[in-house]
Amino acid sequence: MKKLQKGFTLIELMIVVAIVGILAAIAIPAYKDYIARSKVSECAATLGACKTSVTEFYNTKVRMPGNETSAGCSTNASQYCNSLTVATSGNISILVDVSETGATDAAGAANDCALTLLPSVNTTTNEITGWTGSTGCATKYVPAQFR
């Protein structure tokens, strides 16, 4: 009579542990990037709210606001974002706090980086026709509009 095997052999257990280790080595860095990107997205959402205010200001007064206060943008810093500014050209910038988000600048250094929205203005019809994003942050951390 043949004896039935009970349990797993040592090699089977070692293979399972190796597979779990490989998956964890891939998943943990990807998860950290995902978390950093979600934190930077909060700054992009703050820019979106200010973008609406700048557009409304331009549509009513046919000129760009002088600063963030005249545009009606909130300048309160959040946990992940610092110092929102609106330039006289209509450019809106916000500084991403790298120490809180875990994101890096484009060179890979742990320096604060900025997200900037630039308006496209049609001077014939006096309207803002769109917005273009630019950034000093590493592209893997920013939303698609800033890549």
Please give the model's pTM, rounded to 2 decimal places.
0.80
Q: Do the beta carbons of residue 53 and residue 72 sit within 8 Å?
A: yes
Percentage of the chain modeled with pLDDT above 90? 61
Tell how far CA 138 is from the center of its chain: 9
Residue 3: pLDDT over 80: no
pLDDT at 1: 61
**Residue 119 scores a pLDDT above 70:** yes
Residue 52 has pLDDT above 70, yes or no: yes
Ordered by where they begin, the domains of the chain are: 12-146 (3.30.700.10)
Give yes or no for a contact between 94 and 43, defined as CB atoms under 8 angstroms apart. Answer: yes
For residue 30, the tally of other CB atoms under 10 A from its CB is 9
Q: How does 13-22 read in b/e, with b if 16+ C-beta sit within 10 Å?
A: eeeeeeeeee
pLDDT at position 90: 93
What's the mean pLDDT when you consider all of the chain? Answer: 90
Reported confidence tier of residue 131, pLDDT bands at 50, 70, 90 = very high
Please, which residues have CB within 8 angstroms of residue 87's CB and are 6 or more apart in sequence? Answer: 93
Say if residue 53's pLDDT is above 90.
Answer: yes
More confident residue, 1 or 105: 105
> Which residue in 145, 132, 133, 129 sits closest to 58, CA to CA?
129
Residues 120 and 93: their CA atoms lie apart, in Å, by: 15
Q: What is the mean pLDDT of residues 105-132?
A: 90
Q: How far is CA 74 from CA 52, 119, 145, in A?
A: 12, 19, 21
Q: Which residue, 102, 105, 113, is CA-closest to 44?
A: 113
Query: Which amino acid, 56?
Result: E
At 56-108, the pLDDT tens digits run: 999 899 999 999 999 999 888 788 998 899 999 999 999 999 889 988 888 88
